[in-house]
Amino acid sequence: MRVFITGATGFLGRALTLRLRRDGHEVSAWVRSPAKARALLGAEIQLINARGGEPRLRVALAASDAVIHLAGEPVLPRRWSKRRRKALFDSRVGLTDQIVRALAELPVRPQVLVSGSAVGFYGDGQAMPLPEDAAKGQGFLADLCAAWESAAEKASELGLRVVTLRTGVVLGRDGGALAQLVPLQRAGLGVLGRGEQWLP
Average pLDDT value over all residues in the chain: 87
* DSSP-derived secondary structure letter, 134: P
Which tens digits make up the pLDDT trace of 144-195? 999 999 999 999 999 999 999 998 888 777 766 666 677 777 776 666 667 6
Identify which of 163, 5, 183 has the alpha carbon closest to the alpha carbon of residue 95: 5
User: What are 10-32's pLDDT values in tens digits?
Assistant: 889 999 999 999 999 999 999 98
- Give φ, ψ of 103 to 5 degrees: -60, -40
Give bridge partners of residue 68 from the DSSP assignment: 5, 114
Q: Are 115 and 165 in contact (CB under 8 A)?
A: yes
pTM for the model stands at 0.86
Q: What is the DSSP letter of 84?
A: H
* Per-residue pLDDT, 169: 81
Give the CA dihedral 148, 153, 158, 162, nearest 10 degrees. 110
Closest alpha carbon to 43 in 57, 56, 29: 29
| Per-domain boundaries in the chain | 2-168, 172-200
Q: Which residues pair with 167 in a beta bridge?
A: 118
> In sequence order, which residues have a C-beta less than 8 Å from that of residue 79 and are 6 or more positions away?
none
CATH number of 2-168: 3.40.50.720
Average pLDDT for residues 118-130, to the nearest whole number? 83
Q: Please state, in angstroms and rounded to a whole number, the distance separating the CA atoms of residues 70 and 92.
A: 8
Model confidence at 4: pLDDT above 90: yes
What is residue 83's predicted lDDT score, i.e. its pLDDT? Answer: 87
